Structure 1
Amino acid sequence: TNKQKNIFMLMIALFFICIYELLVITAATEVTDGYLRFMRTIRQFNYTVQVLGLGEEWKGGDVARTVGGGQKVRWLKKELEKHKDKQNTVIMFVDSYDVILASGPEELLRKFSRFSHRVVFSAEGFCWPDQRLASKYPVVHDGKRYLNSGGFIGYASEVHAVVKQWKYKDDDDDQLFYTRIYLDKEKFSITLDHKSHIFQNLNGAMEEVVLKFEKSRVRARNVAYDTLPVVIHGNGPTKLQLNYLGNYVPTAWTYEHGCGICDDDLLDLNGLSEMPLVHIAVFIEQPTPFLEEFLERLATLNYPHTRLRLFIHNNVVYHEQHVERFWTRHRSLFPAARIVGPEENLKQDQARNMAVEACKKDVSCGYFFSIDSDVALTNPDILWILIEENKAVIAPMLSRHGKLWSNFWGALSPENFYSRSEDYIDIVQSKRVGLWNVPYITQVYLIRGETLRSRLAPVSLYKQEGMDPDMSFCKSVREQGIFMFVSNRDEFGRLISSTNYNISRLHPDMWQIFDNPVDWREKYIHENYSKIFDDDENLVECRFTRAFLDAVVTWCRVMVMIAASRAPLPLSRSSVRPGSSQAWTTSGSSTGGLRVTVVANPSGNQPSGDHRSSNTSQPVEPPKECAGPSLKSVSTRQGEPCLPSRVCRYSSGLSGDAGPARGWP
């Protein structure tokens, strides 16, 4: 019966696992992010591994673009001389930079034992590098037909016999060598893993592979053959898809435990005698709302200012006044600063390269922190947090308030532009929290100085033909095999929208109530406004009067200019209507339609006569179908509006701590 057959096969597999030892052999000349990821999965499943070529010069050709890789075969041939006579040893050779292991040695050996051949190679859907050999391959009705040399497994003696045939140059092609041996059916017992039981090559099969969330672990499932491969190989142009899978497989992130790798290899800054030197590069490339607040946040960073070096590139004449005021107030905090203004006429890529070159040339530069002016950093500990993550390149996750627009992409389209990954929304909305290996970051990020001076040293980061600086930067980093991480483990701030920012207006920030409501409220709404909703807060001084703090001094001055526009409407909805509703919940009248009347009285003295008919007022008519109480907003030194109806509150210019002003009829 099938049950008896399954039990018999299980017993054979257990016997096989008990008597055979598995040795994983890989090749790597340097420690890269991909190599570290591979070794993490090796350790997680307790594989025995031998690394070949570490620290040696690579002479195997540019395998990312053309044929090559023969140097790996030469190394393997030499190594297997030590194991050729071991009858109970199974050898698995895999690449390391673009490989993830999804399960342990027991499952691997069990699956290998089910093959009737002595050596098993991974399979793919392309005949490469010599397509003329395609017709010589056996016909496969179900599964991938062609050999891939990125992974194979076999008994030590047979694998040794195969690689012993190598007699070529280091830059000759290893896959072509193995292909010719495989096609010689007379000599060796070799087969291919046609249905990805052990090896999953992603090139040409990305649509077949999905994540399978199991209890406390994640597998990559091949839905075409319903298999769970052990070795995931991001061969060819599928490195980014492998990075996506690596964000989960095997336990990088699970529903049960969240991020499983976030606390690995953290850098303990508390144990350092001196904090790393950080070069901060600020880029003001277009008119940006709330720039003064942006600059002030630089001065409040929780990091020793003696260990900061500031670079500012301002390409906007309008913002020269803001930069000058910031520098006048805080120049003592940044002793070694450089400010490049619009008179220098630098292009954006030139300015960014200038800043990054300063860190490259300074051997004491520990980190390079790049930040654009449309970033509102609200977490003063951001440098501590990002440095402690101990990544070569890392960005804090930021998005526009209430929107999915963020500073990273989860995937790229075939044209290398934005594509939404399956997990993008969950990451932006912090439904999945962790460290995410992504193909694109922008606006704010931290780069390790040592990385700039080594792997990125010969690279022009921000200039490639036909590319914007941000796209050029990310492409350059990806091509060097460096992972770009984005972290949403902490709340860092938000992005500012500058799309509709019009500096021709007198107070352009005031008009940002639509595009940047959070920043607008922080600047113009009194910090104690929310107290009107406290049950124990009673500011009512007389009948029909409801007094509450609403705005700061700038508010009323500008409201005179914009009262005739639609701008006060969201203000009335978000700030005035809640207070009105709080006071008149039983009045029976609607507070949805408010008549906003601005009374300009900069002197701060109580006006004489009927202030309701002041000729400086600008009425804003509500929709005809709306009815409700009126609002009189009086411009004073306090900048507090009056609410509502027949009795109005007036602030007489008292100091901020003098308590509520008296009402007047």
Structure 2
Amino acid sequence: MLLTFLSLLCLSTYSMSLELKVITVATEETDGFKRFMKSAAYYGISVEIVGMGEEWKGGDIQRYPGGGFKLNLLKPVLEKWRERKDLVVMFVDSYDVIFAANSEKILEKFKDFRTNLVFSAEQFCWPDQSLASRYPKVGLGKRFLCSGGYIGYASQMYSIITDSEISDTDDDQLFYTKIYLDPHKRDKYGMRLDHRSHIFQNLNGAEDEIDLHVTSNESYATNTLYNTRAAILHGNGGSKNFLNFLGNYIPNQYNVDEGCLHCSEGLHELPEDSSKWPTVFVGLFVMSPTPFLREAILKSLSELNYPKNLIHLWVYNKNSYHEDLLSKWSDEVKSEYASVQYTGSYRDITEIEARTTAMKESLSKKSDYYLMLDSTGVFDDPDALRKLITLNKHVIAPILGRPDKYWTNFWGSIAKDGFYARSRDYFVIVESKRKGIWNVPFISTAILFEGEWLLKRSTDAKGLPSFASEEFEPDMALCQWMRNNGHFMYVSNLQKYGHLISTSNYEIHHLHNDIYNIFENRQEWEKKYLHENYSVALNAGPDDISQPCTDVYWFPLLSPAYTKEIIEELEKFGKWSNGENDDPRLDGGYENVPTRDIHMNQVGFEKQWLDILAKYVVPIQIKVFPGYYSRARADLNFVVKYHPQGQPDLRPHHDSSTFTINVALTRPGIDHQGGGCRFVRQNCSVVDTKLGWALMHPGRLTHYHEGLPTTSGTRYIMVSFVDP
């Protein structure tokens, strides 16, 4: 193909020393724009910004064609440079672009094209798909023009942008597409597309082609299909979340040796005098019955190392299950906080209305920060709130996860349907193998909003963040609003801030529901129901475990809360056996040594009790009876009720077990008089039983034993015949 004289003239500058000018159009300083400018500054690239502060007149280009306004803003700027033969101009969008190379590398890549103008390329023909067939065929590479990035000599750049008139609301990409599809004009301007992403990497539709390399001293992205490393990363179309993912690493944001390189930038250090700390409005949302609400969530909130007189507390309860607890608790703490407002389940207020109201209330209180906290979020670090404020982000959440699971309060990516997708770095972030502050598309449970940022949103045409959506629940609707309006959301795993409570499978038909919740929230269950000294026994040597009688071991197992609640649960059930030999609960219908008891399977607690045996009893058994590895199988798990007017004692007997567990649920001398266990062959009695402590002894052959008489009060013991 013959080149025009003008094209040859421009190509003759290939050996000339060239200067690069980067130009962009931006009417407001969005989060994406700030990131763009930061990446330019890292590479020492000066950017000429056109249109800042002006009203955008180019239409809604997020959803529809438009953007001609950009070209009309660029024309007078390019006109100034039209005569400069040594000047190369690169235009790039700014809200969704990151620099990944310096000016020298960009110019080098441009020169390699040996042409006048290079436009980025993508795999979608937009905005007019009917034009796809008119594009030249491409053997390998992206076929279609994208106007989000292009580079060329200043004279040619001005010539092409003034090729014809364009209205502000016309589409800029269609403008350039029509020129490119005209073979004469394509030749006239020396237009080429960057088919294989040498300079410009458009990410829309190309995510699977991109590899992120995190090395000891840098992070960078390559296109594995073309083996190229682009200088410009452009999150066009639906790839903005993927660009945000890459932006967590590029440029110079993270490497293996130094970790997070930006996490110490722009921190908001609080003064030593805590009375001068920012005011915080805390909105606590209890949306469903939540296990361990008082012991975990309310306790962690009240134990924050933050002056309570600087905290406004606003509590919303949607369910009647917690009405009594939350209304009383709100009254109890009212004098401690700057203000306390409780909105109970009796109020006809939707979740959307409640969350919107709380956000507005935070502004009415002129709070410096608003913490939106769901009842499933627990702060384990009392300094969590202060540390989050220090990070100085407009919107940030601490990473909270379910213990020993990958379920957290953030998503690293979003699927096309708007729901969860796993990002490439999700596991290493959750496991804290990479620590930092991460730009992500979804956060929930504990979100800290900067008050000044909320105030600015309240005066914008788009208003405060919205929780309303026809498609999504309020938490997803909020994040969708944030993404659609170009606001970044961050999560931090710089510290271990806390964890999540699971509300899955939470049964609320028992008297004490938390005691059943061992599988879903083991960490909370252990804090409340394991004996405070259990870990001492677990870590002790076998000779350090108490042995009141030969081969009878004694160790702390269950807490006073457990012993109290299991008794109350059983008494509510009330169906104690009659202590006779005939027992329809047993497979054979006959009990040789009967007791007045209730089996754990009668109150739906057998699975939980067997788990207690496996997780907390067997490790002690292995320690004191070495060489035997229990399967923690027990067919009979029951609580015995001893009373002088009922069954006061139990005759001597062997247990049908390899070993037996006997846990004291009451206190001798306080709850009852008498009682205890006598081992006949050993001529040894244990009468001073300790609340929540377990006696463990062989069941068959060697430890013939009896229950000593209870003379007053009521004695309860929990018994398991393990490995019958």
Match of residue 663 from structure 1: none
Q: Is the 8 A contact 2:117 2:190 kept in 1?
A: yes
Match of residue 253 from structure 1: 254
- Residue 552 in structure 1 maps to residue 563 in structure 2: no
SS in 2 for 1:74: helix
Q: CA deviation at 1:229?
A: 1.0
SS in 2 for 1:262: coil
Match of residue 399 from structure 2: 397
Match of 2:469 among 449, 464, 473: 464
Q: CA deviation at 1:148?
A: 1.3
C-alpha RMSD over aligned residues: 3.0
TM-score (norm 1): 0.87
- Residue 497 in structure 1 maps to residue 497 in structure 2: no
**For residues 590 and 242 of structure 1, do their structure 2 counterparts lie closer, same or farther at Cα, with a shift above 3 Å needed?**
closer
Match of 1:302 among 302, 305, 326: 305
Match of residue 528 from structure 2: 523
Deviates more, 1:337-346 or 1:553-562: 553-562
Deviation per residue, 1:444-472 (Å, 9 max, x gap): 21112222222366246111223211121
Match of 2:136 among 138, 141, 163: 138
Match of residue 407 from structure 1: 409
Deviation per residue, 1:172-230 (Å, 9 max, x gap): 22222323343313532221111110011122323322323445222222222221111
Match of residue 277 from structure 2: 275
SS in 1 for 2:553: coil
Match of residue 124 from structure 1: 122
For 1:149 and 1:396, how far apart are their aligned partners in 2? Answer: 38
Q: CA deviation at 1:232?
A: 0.9
For 1:551 and 1:187, how far apart are their aligned partners in 2? Answer: 85
For 2:327 and 2:224, how far apart are their aligned partners in 1? Answer: 60
Partner amino acid for 1:169?
S
Q: CA deviation at 1:611?
A: 9.0
Dislocated runs of 4+, deviation >6 Å: 15-18, 647-650
Q: CA deviation at 1:269?
A: 1.9
Match of 1:62 among 60, 63, 71: 60
**For residues 592 and 237 of structure 1, do their structure 2 counterparts lie closer, same or farther at Cα, with a shift above 3 Å needed?**
closer
- Residue 568 in structure 1 maps to residue 609 in structure 2: yes
Match of residue 580 from structure 1: 621
Partner amino acid for 1:67?
P
Matching of residues 258-407 of structure 1 within 5 Å: 258-270=259-271, 274-293=276-295, 294-362=297-365, 364-407=366-409
SS in 1 for 2:475: helix
**For residues 484 and 306 of structure 1, do their structure 2 counterparts lie closer, same or farther at Cα, with a shift above 3 Å needed?**
same
SS in 2 for 1:633: strand
Match of residue 681 from structure 2: none
For 2:136 and 2:97, how far apart are their aligned partners in 1? Answer: 27
Q: Is the 8 A contact 1:597 1:631 kept in 2?
A: no
Deviation per residue, 1:336-363 (Å, 9 max, x gap): 111001110222212111111212444x
Q: Is the 8 A contact 1:545 1:648 kept in 2?
A: no
Match of residue 655 from structure 1: none
For 1:185 and 1:468, how far apart are their aligned partners in 2? Answer: 49
Deviation per residue, 1:607-659 (Å, 9 max, x gap): 9755989xxxxx9x9xx9xx422111112256322322258999x9xxxxxxx
Where does the alignment leave 5 or more consecutive residues of structure 1 unmatched? 1-14, 614-618, 653-665
Q: CA deviation at 1:563?
A: 3.3
**For residues 262 and 515 of structure 1, do their structure 2 counterparts lie closer, same or farther at Cα, with a shift above 3 Å needed?**
same
Match of 1:632 among 654, 662, 678: 662
Partner amino acid for 1:486?
V
Q: Is the 8 A contact 1:547 1:649 kept in 2?
A: no
- Residue 192 in structure 1 maps to residue 193 in structure 2: yes
TM-score (norm 2): 0.80
Q: Is the 8 A contact 2:92 2:148 kept in 1?
A: yes
Deviates more, 1:329-338 or 1:454-463: 454-463
For 2:120 and 2:95, how far apart are their aligned partners in 1? Answer: 17
Partner amino acid for 2:661?
L
SS in 2 for 1:85: coil
Q: CA deviation at 1:257?
A: 2.8
Match of 2:446 among 439, 444, 447: 444
Match of residue 696 from structure 2: 644
When the two structures are aligned, how many residues end up with a matched partner? Answer: 622
Q: Is the 8 A contact 2:327 2:344 kept in 1?
A: no
Q: CA deviation at 1:118?
A: 1.4
Match of 1:25 among 16, 23, 26: 23
**For residues 204 and 492 of structure 1, do their structure 2 counterparts lie closer, same or farther at Cα, with a shift above 3 Å needed?**
same
For 1:160 and 1:252, how far apart are their aligned partners in 2? Answer: 36
Match of residue 33 from structure 2: 35
Partner amino acid for 2:43?
F
SS in 1 for 2:499: strand
- Residue 534 in structure 1 maps to residue 535 in structure 2: no
Q: Looking at CA atoms only, which structure, 1 or 2, has the larger radius of gyration?
A: 2
Partner amino acid for 1:336?
S
Q: CA deviation at 1:17?
A: 9.6
Partner amino acid for 1:414?
K
Q: Is the 8 A contact 2:285 2:375 kept in 1?
A: yes
SS in 1 for 2:177: helix
**For residues 335 and 322 of structure 1, do their structure 2 counterparts lie closer, same or farther at Cα, with a shift above 3 Å needed?**
same
